[in-house]
Structure 1
Amino acid sequence: MMRRGDDAGYDRSLTMFSPEGRLYQVEYALEAVRRGTLVIALKSKYGATLVTRKKFTKLMDSSTIEKIFQMDEHMGCAIAGLHADSRILVDYARVQCQVHRLTYSEPVRIQTITRKLADIKQQYSQHGGVRPFGSSLLIVGVDPDGMPRITTTSPSGTYWSWRGTAMGRNSDAARETLNKELNDEMSLEELVKLGIKILKESTDEEFEDENLSIATISAEERKFELLKYDRIKAYL
């Protein structure tokens, strides 16, 4: 989209600030995330869960569509935005998780890998000849101390930690419901049910149970698990 007026032309270069101090290419990347499929993450002292849905046509093989990825035994992530950009970031995170295990003989902390991803994203918002990653990652896991964590990374290179959050289309409405109903005493099963409920209420389109994609991780077992179709159907 061509801009007109005082800010015309400032969206053609990644490294050029507008007179208002804005980087339009980074803002466009953020818009790509906001238009992505809704992803919800919730946690309590008993664990954490990711709930989202996959979009595909009848002619597509649904097993090839991925919205949730395992990054290490104790953590995984869901994506919002451009899938190709997300896949590159997930592959980078998986390598960094294994490098940390080989170097320190322990699993990497959630905030450590989140910061590494945010550092890469920030670099791609600062140099000419590249574009920002049009993707945000919503990471859940359990740290070595047994504490469940939820973190997010932004195309701008910033990152945050949450009790519960949402990314993608209609994420504001989902966060409002989370703020009202989420509490730290909920069991893992209750977290999954709340996530499904919020996803249904916040999604304009109808979707079937095979569209759902859910992952959980228990604070006690510390094993990231992507739920099979029969277990998802049981929750519904």
Structure 2
Amino acid sequence: MARRYDSRTTIFSPEGRLYQIEYAMEAISHAGTVLGVLAKDGIVLAAEKKVTGKLLDLTATKEGGYGGSGEKIFLLNSNVVAGVAGITADANSLVNFARQAAQRHLYLYNEDIPVELLAQRLCDLKQGYTQHGGLRPFGVSLLYAGYDPHHNFQLYHSDPSGNYSGWKATSIGANNGTAQSLLKQEYKDDITLEEAIGLTLRVMSKTMDSTTLGSEKLEFATLTVDPVTKAPKAKVYRPAEVDALLQKQGLAKPDEDTEMKAT
């Protein structure tokens, strides 16, 4: 029966469902995990990279840019960082749209776009793709970590249907149910950024498919506020910085040379 109603995003099934949206959600549930935790003095984002390999050229991420491989975590504006789960090509299109929307707002009002407004702009676009015939929905969910001087730090999640919601801590992608149950147990309202970093890495270590954590499989970002200028500071960690963080938390993978000597 479903086949009669899943050929268009504009056709409701007799149960009132839009199957194409549900298929997009299913695609996201198989993507790499993305985790966001809101702290009182910042926000942490972590993402599992699926595209790994010894022949992958990561020169640019080690030497220049703002860090990261650009696969899962993106800088949308000086006050907003996003983590994506799903079809990366769709994510690139949405990221470009979000960056343009942020720059238009800056040009018109001479201030950074509020993070909820940016989430609304993307959700308006995504909702349009569920309503007009001939277009499939975007197969990607986003976590927005942002800051504005009125509402301070905020964490939002949006999905292919165009819905968005605010969270204290949440997860999207594969194993998101396990990650959310772990976050429910350990999250505290007065958590600091350092504690949030430790919590995020511990949860990622338990939910990722890999048995070991390393910079080749993990992207990491934080959003804080400069204590002097009060301006938001987004930091997407480079591979060496991710490895240093894992080492500090005792979650780094064993050194191969040490393992060879031990055996």
- Same fold at TM > 0.5: yes
Q: Is this contact kept in 2: 1:11–1:24, CA < 8 A?
A: yes
Matched-pair contact (CA < 8 Å) for 1:45–1:147: no
Cα RMSD for the two superposed structures: 1.5
TM-score by length of 2: 0.84
**Further displaced range: 81-90 or 206-215:** 206-215
Q: Contact 1:67/1:213 (CA < 8 Å) preserved in 2?
A: yes
TM-score, normalised to structure 1, is 0.93
Residue 40 (structure 1) aligned with residue 35 (structure 2): yes
Pairwise mapping of residues 120-135 of structure 1 onto structure 2 (< 5 A)? 120-135=125-140
- The code of the aligned residue for 1:212 comes to L
Q: Quick one: percent identity of the two aligned structures? A: 36
Matches within 5 A, 1:77-226: 77-145=82-150, 147-210=152-215, 211-220=217-226, 221-226=231-236
Aligned amino acid, residue 6 of structure 2: D
Cα distance in structure 2, aligned partners of 1:110 and 1:65:
20
Residues 91-126 of structure 1: CA deviation (Å, up to 9, x unaligned):
000011111111111111110000000000000001
Q: Which residue of 1 aligns with 2:65?
A: none
The verdict on how the C-alpha distance between 1:65 and 1:90 changes in structure 2, with shifts beyond 3 A counting, is closer
Residue by residue, what CA displacement relative to the aligned partner does 1:35-64 show, whole Å, maximum 9, x if unpaired? 110000001111101011212233323455
Q: Do the aligned residues in 2 keep the contact of 1:135 with 1:154 (CA within 8 Å)?
A: yes
Whether the aligned pair in 2 keeps the contact of 1:51 and 1:192 (CA below 8 Å) is no
Classify 1:148/1:21 alpha carbon distance in 2 versus 1 (closer, same or farther; 3 Å): same
Cα drift, residue 222 of structure 1 = 1.2
Q: Could you say which structure has the larger radius of gyration?
A: 2
- After TM superposition, what 4+ stretches of structure 1 lie above 4 angstroms from structure 2? 62-65
* CA deviation after TM superposition for structure 1 residue 32, in Å: 0.9
Task: State the partner residue of 1:232.
Answer: 242
**Is the 2:205–2:213 contact (alpha carbons within 8 Å) kept by the matching residues of 1?**
no
Describe the SS at the equivalent of 1:78. strand
Aligned residue pairs total: 231
Residues 48 and 208 of structure 2 are in contact (CA less than 8 Å); yes or no, is this contact kept in structure 1? no
1:61 aligns with 2:71: no
Q: Confirm whether residue 51 of structure 1 aligns to residue 46 of structure 2.
A: yes
Q: Is the deviation greater in 36-45 or in 51-60?
A: 51-60
Deviation at 1:184, TM superposition (A): 2.8
Residue type of the alignment partner of 1:61: D
Deviations 1:199-231 (Å, cap 9, x if unpaired)?
Answer: 011123234412221000114451111012232
Q: Return 6-15 or 208-217, whichever deviates more.
A: 6-15
> Which piece of structure 1 moves more, 86-95 or 139-148?
139-148
Aligned residues of 2:40 and 2:193 also touching (Cα < 8 A):
no
Deviation string 1:151-171 (CA, Å, 9 cap, x unpaired) is: 011101100010000000000
